[in-house]
A and B are shown apart, each in its own frame.
Chain A
Amino acid sequence: MADTTNNLDHSDDFTLVEVDNRITEKIDTPKYSYWGSVAKQFFSKKVTIFMLILIVAILLLSFIQPMFSGYNLMDVANVNDFSARYNWPNAEFWFGTDADGKSLFDAIWAGARTSISIGFISTVITTVIGVTIGAIWGNSKRIDRFMLELYNIVSNVPMLLIIIVLSYTFGNGFWNLIFAMTVTTWLGTAYFIRVQVMIMRDREYNIASRTLGTPTGRMITRNILPYLTSVIVTQVSQLLPSFISYEVFLSFLGVGLSPDVPSLGRLISQYSPYMTSYPYLFWLPVLVLALITVSLYIIGQNLADASDPRTHM
């Protein structure tokens, strides 16, 4: 055997090949982009796209329409014009008019703007404070002892009770209401993040990272928080509708906002006596309110699912 191989001439069998960079790229695994996959997963569901279109439409209407309609809750210019009163929804007044001859269409979007703004601002405040403090809380034993006691005290009291009492004591007003709603709610978010951080903190990769000398701040921002994206999005998707709900209920009671600020809750409480006589006055604000919270919730839930890397396979 050895003799035959030695006798063969190899010079014709082989050609020199240049290294081809493009082909090596192709053999490599496809490039993974986290946010790209999130977007792909998020837009793959028809319900999500539908809800997204719905909420964008509602947002545009409620933030642009009031600029042109110039709706003012205190305006009673048409109060003596009998033909303007109680018009059922028609081509001119899409959602009809109320006892003062004001267009319900204008009222709803002006109210929705307030309600949505309060919901968004409160959610942002709660989430930012909650996540920051929760991340620190989960990493420090000393803070943990104190915060846990604080949490035990606050979490035992029904949230609605705290919010009602606080908005009563701080008085009526847009920012007062936001303050009343956020001043204790962040504790719930912070506690939730703390538990998640504690679970992540003692995973092997983090122990390894700490052994290699990573400072705590970097551990939190680089190693732990990216893992919690989907958890945080879930929290946000639950907070947003609940804040809108609280606002609506407080305005319904007449506790939260000053009397000249329109909001969906105020509309609902103002028009609830007309539930049987002029049902459109009552049910249209309720319907818009339900559409806002349902679409926000479903979008949030699906975004949370999409931001979980396990669904990207």
Chain B
Amino acid sequence: MKKYLFFRIIRSLVSIFLVTTLTYIIIYSLVPRRDVFKDDTMVQKLKSEPDKLTDYENNAFSKMNYIEYLDTKTLLAKASKDGKEVTAAHTAENKKLLESWAKKNGFALKRYRISKDYYVTRELPIWERLGRFYGNLIQVDNPWAVHDPKNPNMKRYVRFENDKLAGFALVGSGTKFKYQIYFNSSFPWIHQNIIHINLGTSYPTFAGLPVSQVMGSRQGQTVSEKFTFPNGRTLNTSDNIYTRQYQPTANQDDDAKERYGDHYTATDQIQSDPSMIGTSFKAGFFALIITYVISIPMAIVMARFKGRFFDRLGTGIVTVLISVPSLAFIYAFRYAGSALFGLPDSFPTLGAGNVNSWVLPTFVLGFLSVSGLVIWFRRYMIDQQSSDYVKFAKAKGLEEGEIYSKHIFKNASIPIVQGIPGQIIGLIGGATMTETIFAMPGMGKMLPDSIIAHNNPLVISIVFIFTTIAVFSVLLGDILMTIVDPRIKLSTSGDD
């Protein structure tokens, strides 16, 4: 079993890796790279200044790992390192030196249109881009992470102490984040800043922000709270002190330094609404509960009174639910919900702070998977009805209700437990539609949004996250099944 599980996890990881890699390759090789500028207002603004536009475009491409780009200043500095001083003057000698440098390092030498200054670009081959993506994927914080030339005598340690701001915490110095492990009142109470996932830089929407921050940081308006700082001052602030990061001496402002008393002054803001991942997760979790709470009793009653009125009614409803496109269903349900119960038909109307905004999307999300679950659960229950052990129980004089709750239900729920991951995969698909229609700021809405904006790094990250969730939920479903029914051995089963 342990060996099986080990290989299963390896295979899951390989699966995630392959899907992400494939997505990466097809997106970066098939989507025309000029598309990223389609809706970029900066490009329109810079039309009159071709040099700046060239610089802007090349910078964007290099941020997205399409090319490596050195502007005139960096180029001259690099080329001068080889020995002979290269100047910005457009002389034949300088040109020759630059050309030989570019040739040696695999760059192509180009000139700006107006100023005729030199710059170089290098196409990054797809495997190098992939290497960078995976190489930077997981970043581990350590006491040697920060190197600030203006702060040479910084102590480097990681130790457990009672911090004035954060309480008991694993505090680092020389690390990127001050609080490596900390505790507070928000779920799941223990948090870490040691391992961070780096999924690249978002562009052109959320330009310049790390993708992981776009998806993982809280959204909405900033919330300020009264707070007492180590220097004794009490201020209204929206700084999230748990995210204190090292700020190089050059960028530091004195006020912040005085307030915190050290170099760790860069903080995120406390914001009112859950992150994109959090929004999707919250809605998805409750939707899953709704799905099961509705469909299991419904299927039980339908199976028990098979062929009678309720069964036929239920089958009719389920048939319609399956065949009506989700889009039509979501719109119809949304309309009914807002017309009958006065619930907001769009998430931002009342915002994430109000429970009412969550009701309709969550219920829609739950209802979308009800039909599939009811059909299968009813089928399983009916299959069990004619099995020998049920006939035996009947012959021994057990009551119908007892047979259903104690015998049939337990046996029929085995495949249902294994079906939970399928429900989660379905939820992801459903969330894409539901979140888009309700304008709910979650990952599901982000996918079409980033596709329309040609935000390739975000598309890949969403695929990566969804695939990871899906693959591991399948694994979890299998493990759960062996717990529910100990007769099932994963290591010997397998469908071949």
**A residues bordering B, Cβ < 8 Å?**
144, 148, 152-153, 156-161, 164-166, 168-171, 195, 241, 244-245, 248-249, 252-255, 265, 268, 272, 275, 282, 286, 289-290, 293-294, 296-298, 301
Contact = CB atoms under 8 A, between A and B. Distances in A.
Contacts of A282: 331
Interface string B467-487: 100110010000000000000
A294 B323 contact: yes
Contact of B335 (A158, A160, A275): A275
A268 B324 contact: no
Interface of B: 11, 15, 18-19, 23, 26-27, 30-31, 319-320, 322-328, 331-332, 335, 425-426, 428-429, 432-433, 436, 447-448, 451-452, 459, 463, 466-467, 470-471, 474, 495-496
B15 A161 contact: no
A161 B432 contact: yes
> Which of A161, A244, A290, A294 neighbours the largest number of chain B CB atoms within 10 Å of its CB?
A161
B319 A297 contact: yes
A254 B428 contact: no
A248 B429 contact: no
Contacts of B27: 165, 168-169
A294 B320 contact: yes
Contacts of B428: 158, 160-161
B418 to A, nearest CB: 14
Contact of A253 (B26, B326, B452): B452
B26 A294 contact: no
A158 B466 contact: yes
A169 B27 CA distance: 6
10 contacts: A148-B495, A153-B18, A153-B19, A165-B26, A165-B451, A168-B31, A169-B27, A253-B451, A275-B335, A293-B325
Main secondary structure of the interface of A (DSSP, over half): helix
Counting from the closest, the 6 A-B pairs by CB-CB distance are: A297-B323, A245-B325, A160-B429, A169-B30, A253-B448, A294-B323
A148 B494 CA distance: 11
Main secondary structure of the interface of B (DSSP, over half): helix
Nearest to A252: B327
Contacts of A248: 325, 327
Given A157-B19, A165-B459, A248-B327, A286 B332 contact: yes
A169 to B, nearest CB: 4
A254 B325 contact: no
B323 A296 contact: yes
Given A153-B19, A159-B429, A290 B325 contact: yes
A164 B449 CA distance: 11
A168 B18 CA distance: 19
Contact of A289 (B325, B429, B474, B495): B325
B327 A161 contact: no
Given A165-B459, A168-B31, A169-B27, A152 B324 contact: no
A171 B27 CA distance: 11
A156 B429 contact: no
Contact of B328 (A144, A158, A290): A290
B432 A164 contact: yes
Nearest to A293: B323
A17 B72 CA distance: 114
B325 A241 contact: yes
B327 A255 contact: no
Contact of A144 (B320, B463, B496): B496
B115 to A, nearest CB: 36
A158 B452 contact: no
Nearest to A148: B496
Contacts of A159: 429
B467 A156 contact: yes
A156 B15 contact: yes
B448 A152 contact: no
A296 B332 CA distance: 20
A145 B27 CA distance: 29
A282 B451 CA distance: 25
Given A165-B23, A286-B332, A294 B18 contact: no
Nearest to B426: A158
B470 A156 contact: yes
Contacts of B474: 156
A301 B320 CA distance: 12
Nearest to B331: A286
Contacts of A156: 15, 19, 425, 467, 470-471, 474
B86 to A, nearest CB: 41
A23 B270 CA distance: 93
A276 to B, nearest CB: 9
A286 B467 CA distance: 31
Given A156-B425, A156-B471, 12 more contacts: A152-B15, A156-B470, A158-B429, A160-B428, A165-B27, A253-B451, A255-B451, A268-B331, A286-B332, A290-B328, A293-B323, A293-B324
A149 to B, nearest CB: 8
Given A160-B432, A161-B463, A249 B30 contact: no
> Which of B23, B327, B467 neighbours the largest number of chain A CB atoms within 10 Å of its CB?
B327
A187 to B, nearest CB: 13
Contacts of B320: 294
Contacts of B326: 245, 249
B470 A255 contact: no
A246 to B, nearest CB: 9
Contact of B324 (A164, A195, A252, A294): A294
Contacts of A170: 30
B18 A249 contact: no
A295 B15 CA distance: 38
A236 to B, nearest CB: 13
B11 A152 contact: yes
Nearest to A244: B325
> Which of A157, A195, A245, A297 neighbours the largest number of chain B CB atoms within 10 Å of its CB?
A157
B157 to A, nearest CB: 43
Contacts of B30: 169-171
A171 B495 CA distance: 37
B15 to A, nearest CB: 5
Given A244-B325, A286-B331, A294-B320, A169 B433 contact: no
B488 to A, nearest CB: 18
Nearest to B468: A156
Given A157-B466, A169-B26, A164 B451 contact: yes
A152 B470 CA distance: 12
Contacts of A244: 325
Contacts of A268: 327-328, 331
B348 to A, nearest CB: 15
Contact of B452 (A165, A169, A255, A272): A255
A293 B321 CA distance: 11
A254 B452 contact: yes
Contacts of A165: 23, 26-27, 451, 459, 463
B225 to A, nearest CB: 39
Given A156-B15, A265-B327, A294-B324, A168 B451 contact: yes
Given A144-B496, A168-B459, A272-B331, A249 B325 contact: yes
